[in-house]
Structure 1
């Protein structure tokens, strides 16, 4: 019953807020800020589900230059944890199939977020290269889940190298991010709060990125993220 009421409240909130959010994002001239606005709005859903998100390390990340944020990906709820931490001027890279989901696809488009074809490595790299041309010019950071799919609470999957190749080509740094596995234990049908954390680690700056191969970067970044699991 508790779960039903919560999901009903979430549905009502989304349906009522979506038109107003769309209008705002359509007229907002600073398009790479739209995702931050959407995240601030929909982070209310965490309160409905009694999810308390501890955000650490993001306040030390400079907004004066773009970064590629890379994080572990366990379940669909990860996006709402990211919503508590995402900095202005950041967009998310998601799989192409999300484009056709009701509301989700429209939100991705309105927030300036980006799609890549996970099923085709060549198409994925081409998409990321196209993205990179505007990212540095607009001082836009991008957020990627480099596992490519959810690990469903198990061991982290190998990181795909595409994001790291683009970081080298763009000449930007990488911010490793760890999302705690507690996100998979949310008690939807209980009033008991769930404590979850999201941690931004010290950036791998552009000069260090340039010294490593994409494969080495992927392995190094994955190790940093994995070493913080489990976190509260």
Structure 2
């Protein structure tokens, strides 16, 4: 019963808020700020599900500087945890199939988020090059889940190298981000609160990124993230 009521509240909130968000994002000249606005609005869903998110480290990240944020990806609810932490001027890079999901696809597009075709390596490379041009032109930061898909509660999957090649091509730093494993234990059908943390680690600055090859950089970043996964 609790779960049904919560999903009804979520559905009602989305139906009522979506048209207003769409209008705002269509007229807002700062398109790379739209995702932050949407995240602020939809972070209300965490309150509905009694999820308390501790956000750490993001206030130390330099303002007005482009980075690529890379985070572990455990379940669909990760996106709602990211909503509490995402900084203005950041957009998410997601798989192209998301654009066809009702509401989700439209919201992704309106927030200026970017799609890549992971099923076609050649198309994926071309997509990433377009991403790089967009970032450089608009002083935008990117949020990428480099595992490429959810790890479904197991150990982190190997990191795909695209995000790290992109950081080297763009000449920007990388911010490793850990989403704690408690996100898999959200008590959807209980009034019990769930405590979750999302932690931004000190950036791997552009000069260090430039000095490492993509494979080593991916491994180094993955190690930083995995060492902090148990934290709540």
Q: Which residue of 1 aligns with 2:135?
A: 135
Secondary structure of the residue aligned to 2:192 is coil
1:103 matched to 2:139? The reply is no
Shift of 1:121: 2.4
After superposition, the CA RMSD in angstroms is 0.6
Distance 1:177 1:120 in 2: 27
Count of aligned pairs between the two proteins: 232
Q: Which residue of 2 aligns with 1:187?
A: 187
Compute the TM-score of the two structures, normalised by the length of structure 2.
0.99
Which sections of structure 2, spanning at least 5 residues, go unmatched? none
Shift of 1:65: 1.1
C-alpha distance in 2, partners of 1:151/1:72? 8
Q: Residue by residue, what CA displacement relative to the aligned partner does 1:114-171 show, whole Å, maximum 9, x if unpaired?
A: 0011222222121111110120221100000000000011100000000100100000
Aligned 1:7-18 pairs, distance under 5 A: 7-18=7-18
| Aligned-partner SS, 1:150 | coil
The corresponding residue for 2:225 is: 225
| In 1: Cα distance, 2:93 partner to 2:126 partner | 13
Match for residue 118 of structure 1?
A: 118
Structure 1: tracts of 5 or more residues without a match: none
List structure 1 segments (4+ residues) > 6 angstroms apart after TM superposition. none
Deviation per CA, 1:156-200, whole angstroms, max 9, x where unpaired? 000000010010000000000000010000001100000000000
Measure, in 2, the Cα distance between the counterparts of 1:23 and 1:213.
43
Q: Which position in structure 2 is the counterpart of 1:81?
A: 81
1:201 is the counterpart of 2:201 = yes
Equivalences for residues 166-181 of structure 1 within 5 A: 166-181=166-181
The answer to which of 4-13 and 113-122 deviates more is: 113-122
What's the counterpart of residue 92 of structure 1? 92
**SS class of match (1:84):** helix
Residues 1:214 and 2:176 are matched in the alignment: no
* Residue 24 of structure 1: aligned partner: 24
Please state whether the residue corresponding to 1:203 is helix, strand or coil: coil
